[in-house]
Structure 1
Amino acid sequence: MTPVWKKTPKPTELIDRVTQAFRLAFGYEPTAVYSAPGRVNLLGEHIDYSGGTVLPFALPQRTYLAVTPRQDRLLRAVTAQGDAGASASSSPREIELGAIAPGAVEGWLAYVAGVPWAMAQEGLVSRDELPGADIAIDSSVPLGAGLSSSAALECSTALAFDAFAAANTGREPLSASDTGRTQLAIACIRAENEIAGANTGGMDQSISLRAHQGSVLAIDCRDFSTRPLTVDVDRAGLALLVMDTRAHHNLSDGQYAKRRAACDFTADTLGLTTLRDYFESTPTLAEAHQLVARWEEQVTAGMVDLPPQTDLPTARAALRHALTEIARVEECLALFSTAETTEQTWAQLGDLLNASHDSLRDDYRVSCDELDLAVNAARAAGALGARMTGGGFGGSAIALVSQELVPTVAEAVASAYERAGFNHPEFLLASPAASAAQDR
């Protein structure tokens, strides 16, 4: 079967499109256009909320906002994607800024409206500094593909309201510094958790606002400190193939929150701030397994409790994933701590990707048939390694593939999907792109 490759419009085309959408919706020209990228997470899945280090990078695919501040506190927004990737909304949705609260707004508008609310809650702006706004949205980040379309929407919105507040006060925008962007990312996380109702960690917003062109960004999720990491697949003759299963995922349906709550509960019963603090020094796989065994002994002895409504095998498996995934990231950091890489370096990275997926599938149980089939078909066709990326339950997988094998691997995955009767997958090649910015 011939693979379907995602077509990404040029930035200028998307800027023109979102500007036209604004003009049609509101009858005048926008004052600015902002954009923020989606992301791929190379390694470190479901550990951001457990204090682990994650290794995402920004995608060239971005969400664009055409925007103008209003003289009142009304927020009006229109999107070309709709609530589930449908056709464009013809009339704006609206809400007063003062009416934004947990449970007060639903669907895609929650990811927009939650941002100014969270910025005020975090003390980044005062109520009087934030005007309402007219907003039009368009995006090349696929919805439901596990590539963080929600964070891209939040972060582009954050840049717009940050600019409004700076103009009203005469201060420098928070987006002008990494420290300020960190604060905006924290506000976006709060917006997603409390207004959109998806209790995610902070990886997606952090990379969207703080990415480095050409680099993976190592983010320590205990304090959100970062450092760029050079993982130059192109120079090694390799490629990162993104395989969108087109099995739509939804992180606000309760499954994600259930797993996070179990990790948070386990850390709390151990007297830890996060599960990362369970390690005594730099995490290793050997210590991860030792800590799981220690925890099980404590549970058996009645010294610590199991997470609510969770049996011992399930809780043990979830903890094993969290601790081993934290350790796998540390192994990856060590692999790329020097400027030179060898074939063995890339083979080891492939092994880490494979082990990550196997753990997410078997221990954390956040994979699905479509993700597993993409991973297995890519491996069988010659990928060095493959795994699901993102929250799971659908979305996308990635494969580390030699450049000459990319067509072969994509065709193998597409053919496997056709035989299984799944939706046709879609493919793109990922390379580290720039962070959120003003485009016009």
Structure 2
Amino acid sequence: MSERPNAPAYAPARDDAAGAADAAALFRRAFGAEPAGVWAAPGRVNLIGEHVDYAGGICLPFALAQRTFAAVAPRADGRLRLVSDFDGAEAEPVEIALAEVGPGSPAGWAGYAAGAIWAQQAAGDLPADLGGFDIAITSDVPVGGGLSSSAALECSVALAARELAAEAPDEAARRRLVTACMRAENEVVGAATGGLDQRIALLGEAGSALAIDFGADTDEQVPCDLGAAGLELLVIDTRAAHSLADGQYASRRGVIDAVAAAAGAEVLREVADPLAHAEAWAAGSVPAGEDPDRWADTVRRRVGHVLSENERTTAAIAQLRAGDFAGFGESMCASHASLRDDYEVSCAELDLAVDTAMAHGALGARMTGGGFGGSAIALVRAEDEREVAGAIAAAFAEAGFTAPAFLAATPSGGARRVG
């Protein structure tokens, strides 16, 4: 029987055995040898707490079942060879000397992987005379979907390199890997990241979300058994263009960082009366050609989002613990409204996904990730999931948008060796 029009397409999630086998097969085809092992790291979905990690705020992500698999073997000549089958096509391997890895080198996806090794060497967690690696990558995390495909790549390779060249990391060492992977993305790739993605990829636990307080530098597992409540979290990858390296993410973060710095603080959360400081900073930093009143309003709304999102996230954590999913859904919707109207990081596709989900019975919905495309999430009754997905697919077709992809999100474990 043929598939009905606009039937929703779901992203796969390979288990340990299948992912390890596929990564090892890619390794053999590319390099003509067997890998020393296969490591996997998950994508993530952030339930709430968006664009606040770099402001010292509070976030609530969980790790996805969709993962990136890295088959790896050590070398002895100080070089890296990297190959992937992103987009279903095997490209020619990227080859680079470890000594040549640094800001902007190598370019593209290989920079995330090579950077995760470079940053560990720079921190003294891997030897300076490291022999190098052959690395083959296959992934179920949608690239450009705002589900942290970049951190999944960084963390799978970082963990593999650590275990092959040093030792299996304890929790403290995993936390250093978080820092290394952040540095890879910030310095080698040149994409601003606040650390949420790397933290959940390395520290996530099955069945839980991770409440991360970036101001206090603490995190706590929060049970997240949606199935017991008859609910599912539907992820909608809008397939709208999404890139954090194009300056939009950095421009939002730049305002928040500048207001904090002008107040003499490292992050906005440390600032007393942040709105007053935002007004003062805005008055002295009007961009050329910008109306001063309009600029002041923009800065107020940017800072206002961070403040209100922290309040919402604190409330949402309590709602999740109490099983108040109706209240949790309301917090999700309020978060999306703030991201759309005050932080201005949504887009037509994200708004359509959220609005359609709510019109078809979702308890709550919001964009997730950095925005400007990427994914939305909807908290739905399990029996309604396919209906909601179908309605969104139909709405996208009617609007002339690229067909979205879907996945049913399950709180899963963090990075580990799988083969």
Name the SS for the 1:37 alignment partner.
strand
Deviation per residue, 1:236-278 (Å, 9 max, x gap): 1111010110113111111111111111001111122211223
- CA–CA separation in structure 1 for the residues paired with 2:147 and 2:406: 12
Tell me the amino acid that sits aligned with residue 95 of structure 1: I
Residue 8 of structure 1 deviates from its aligned partner by 2.8
1:15-414 superposed matches below 5 A: 15-81=20-86, 85=87, 87-89=89-91, 91-128=92-129, 130-166=130-166, 172-173=167-168, 175=169, 177-278=170-271, 291=273, 293-295=275-277, 298=280, 305-306=284-285, 311-337=295-321, 340-341=322-323, 345-414=324-393
Determine the structure 2 residue equivalent to 1:415.
Answer: 394
Deviation per residue, 1:154-188 (Å, 9 max, x gap): 0001111111331xxxxx43x2x221111001000
Name the SS for the 2:178 alignment partner.
helix
Tell me the amino acid that sits aligned with residue 45 of structure 2: V
- CA–CA separation in structure 1 for the residues paired with 2:127 and 2:286: 39
Residue 221 of structure 1 deviates from its aligned partner by 1.5
Tell me the amino acid that sits aligned with residue 317 of structure 1: R
- CA–CA separation in structure 1 for the residues paired with 2:225 and 2:271: 32
Tell me the amino acid that sits aligned with residue 8 of structure 1: A
Preserved CA contact (<8 Å) 1:49 1:201: yes
- CA–CA separation in structure 2 for the residues paired with 1:248 and 1:86: 18
Preserved CA contact (<8 Å) 1:57 1:433: yes
Deviation per residue, 1:260-316 (Å, 9 max, x gap): 11110011111222112236xxxxxxxxxxx4653466458x6xx447667111111
Of all paired residues, the percent bearing the same amino acid is 48
Residue 2 of structure 1 deviates from its aligned partner by 2.1
Residue 191 of structure 1 deviates from its aligned partner by 0.3
Call closer, same or farther: CA 1:318–1:71 in 2, change over 3 Å. same
- CA–CA separation in structure 2 for the residues paired with 1:132 and 1:223: 36
- CA–CA separation in structure 2 for the residues paired with 1:419 and 1:11: 38
- CA–CA separation in structure 1 for the residues paired with 2:38 and 2:280: 55
Preserved CA contact (<8 Å) 2:48 2:332: yes
Preserved CA contact (<8 Å) 1:292 1:316: no
Deviation per residue, 1:394-414 (Å, 9 max, x gap): 111000111121122111111
- CA–CA separation in structure 1 for the residues paired with 2:144 and 2:172: 30
Preserved CA contact (<8 Å) 2:11 2:140: no
Tell me the amino acid that sits aligned with residue 30 of structure 1: P
- CA–CA separation in structure 2 for the residues paired with 1:294 and 1:71: 57
- CA–CA separation in structure 2 for the residues paired with 1:307 and 1:30: 55
> Structure 2 regions of 5+ residues with no counterpart?
1-5
Preserved CA contact (<8 Å) 1:131 1:164: no
- CA–CA separation in structure 2 for the residues paired with 1:294 and 1:160: 47
Deviation per residue, 1:367-412 (Å, 9 max, x gap): 1110010000001111111000011111110001111211221111
Residue 125 of structure 1 deviates from its aligned partner by 2.7
Name the SS for the 1:252 alignment partner.
helix
- CA–CA separation in structure 2 for the residues paired with 1:336 and 1:215: 11
Tell me the amino acid that sits aligned with residue 250 of structure 1: S
Name the SS for the 1:222 alignment partner.
coil
Preserved CA contact (<8 Å) 1:306 1:312: no
Tell me the amino acid that sits aligned with residue 303 of structure 2: L
Tell me the amino acid that sits aligned with residue 185 of structure 1: V
Query: Which segment drifts farther, 186-195 or 98-107?
Result: 98-107
TM-score where L is the length of structure 1: 0.89
Determine the structure 2 residue equivalent to 1:169.
Answer: none
- CA–CA separation in structure 2 for the residues paired with 1:249 and 1:427: 16
Deviation per residue, 1:191-216 (Å, 9 max, x gap): 00000110111000000000011100
Residue 19 of structure 1 deviates from its aligned partner by 0.7
Call closer, same or farther: CA 1:31–1:414 in 2, change over 3 Å. same
Preserved CA contact (<8 Å) 1:266 1:307: no
Tell me the amino acid that sits aligned with residue 80 of structure 1: D
- CA–CA separation in structure 2 for the residues paired with 1:9 and 1:232: 21
Preserved CA contact (<8 Å) 2:279 2:299: no
Query: Which segment drifts farther, 270-279 or 94-103?
Result: 270-279
- Paired residues, number: 409
TM-score where L is the length of structure 2: 0.94
Call closer, same or farther: CA 1:224–1:123 in 2, change over 3 Å. farther
Preserved CA contact (<8 Å) 2:35 2:71: yes
Name the SS for the 1:235 alignment partner.
helix
